[in-house]
Amino acid sequence: MAFSELIGQSDAKMRLGKPLVGEPGHAFLLSGPSGIGKKTFAREFAKGLLCSHPTADGGCGTCPNCVYMREHTHPDYKELLLPSGEKNIKVADVRSRILSDVGIMSQIASRKVYLIDADGLAEEGQNALLKTLEEPPKHVVFILTVSDESKLLPTILSRTESVRLIPNTEEEVKKVLESRNPDILPEEAALYARFSNGIIGYGLDLAETSWLINDWEEVTDLILQLPSISRTELLTEVYSFFDEEKEHFLDILALMNMVFDEMAIAVVSPKSDRLQGENKKDKMVEMIRKYKLNAEMIGRCSAVLTSAAKASRVNGNFEMIVCRMLLALKKECSNG
Ligand SMILES: [Zn+2]
């Protein structure tokens, strides 16, 4: 693994790559939302810092330092992470695992590297670390990761070089999903990527659950049925689906919006590669033809979804919001 094998984050790669071929500072802070890949980048950076022949792309991958890092056995590299189920890293651990260790010389590499999950450091833990961050031994580099910078003392912030990781594009998240799950269908990966908000970790979590994909199929079928379904069925069976999935209501609206977006593409170019799912694509094109749907009507369907989302955010009566929405959608899709 090298920086170039990690997807996206060109700015962070550049800023972490430079110190590897120059004279690195003693403390770096990697910030960015939870799930964005801070630890992955931090470990890659640490490998580069310990490597005997680093380039701006990270460690060489073959020297003893890189081999030890890959095997998680490098004696000059330590991680202090928040133990699962705990709220904070214990100050005693900061002292015993970091502060009393920094004075000991490195064994193999020319320096020692510490990765610290600063989200786990309460004020007391940060204070314990502060003096060492202020005057670190020459052979030591700290890499702190944090998702909420506002929880760090200004004195910690001012003593670290900050590198920010930013949300990835949908396309980048999709690439990661496909590389980690070789069996995933392209349309599934696209769906998870779209819902990930650019956070790779969240996209991977979504891919582990089934509700999103199930609901997507359900709403696609529902929209395809809109012109032909009876009002009674709409207000009973279809309504009960929404009622069961109440907690995901806004996500379902977003899914429906995706289907209408696809439909808008299908109106203009029925053979577009951007349309997903062969079987559904044909049905969609058929529905558009049969009911003479145009872009304007589909635009009005999206507007119906937007007002339903708004109404639910202000806590309107759920049943009324859903029924009104379903009837309005049916009206638009049945061409009057
Ligand atoms: Zn190396």
Q: Name which residue leads in pLDDT, 323 or 291.
A: 323
Q: Which of 65-74, 238-247, 270-279 has the lowest mean pLDDT?
A: 270-279
Tell me, yes or no, if the two domains 3-166 and 210-333 fold the same way. Answer: no
The reported pLDDT for the residue numbered 269 is: 80
**Distance in Å, CA 12 to ligand 1 centroid:** 20
Q: For residues 330 and 88, give the distance between their C-alpha atoms in angstroms, rounded to a whole number.
A: 52
| Structural domain boundaries in the chain | 3-166, 210-333
Kindly report the average pLDDT of the chain as a whole number.
Answer: 91
- The reported pLDDT for the residue numbered 315 is 81
Q: How many C-beta atoms surround the C-beta of residue 80 within 10 A?
A: 22
What does the pLDDT average to over 150-172?
95
305 φ, ψ to 5°?
A: -65, -40
CA of 50 to the centre of ligand 1 (A): 7
Is the model's pLDDT at 280 over the cut of 80? no
CA of 156 to the centre of ligand 1 (A): 30
3 CA to middle of ligand 1, Å? 13
What is the whole-number distance in angstroms between the Cα of residue 132 and the centre of ligand 1? 27
Tens of pLDDT, residue by residue over 1-12, are 789 889 899 999
CA distance 53 to 63: 8
Ligand 1 mean position, distance from CA 57 (Å): 11
pLDDT tier at 278, thresholds 50, 70, 90: low
Q: What is the pLDDT of residue 21?
A: 94
- Distance of alpha carbon 219 from alpha carbon 211, whole angstroms: 12
Select 210-333's CATH number: 1.10.8, 1.10.443, 1.10.30, 1.20.272.
Answer: 1.20.272
pLDDT (mean) for 282-309:
90
CATH topology of domain 3-166: Rossmann fold (3.40.50)
Pick the range with the lowest mean pLDDT from 48-52, 132-136, 282-286: 282-286
C-alpha of residue 144 to centroid of ligand 1, in Å: 22
Q: How far is the CA of 58 from the centre of ligand 1 (A)?
A: 8
Instruction: Answer whether residue 331 shows pLDDT above 70.
Output: yes
pLDDT classification of 274: cutoffs 50, 70, 90: low
| Res 276: pLDDT | 64
Query: What whole-number distance in Å separates Cα of residue 214 and Cα of residue 252?
Result: 11
Bridge partner list, 143:
28, 115
pLDDT, one tens digit per residue, over 76-96 is: 999 999 998 899 999 999 999
For ligand 1, the distance from its centroid to the CA atom of residue 60, given in whole angstroms, is 4
286-299 pLDDT, tens digit each: 888 888 888 899 99
pLDDT at 1: 72
Answer for the pair 143, 114: CB distance below 8 angstroms, yes or no: yes
pLDDT at 111 over 60: yes
Tell me the whole-structure pTM to 2 decimals. 0.77
* Ramachandran angles phi, psi of 113, nearest 5°: -125, 135
Amino acid identity of residue 286, one-letter, is: E
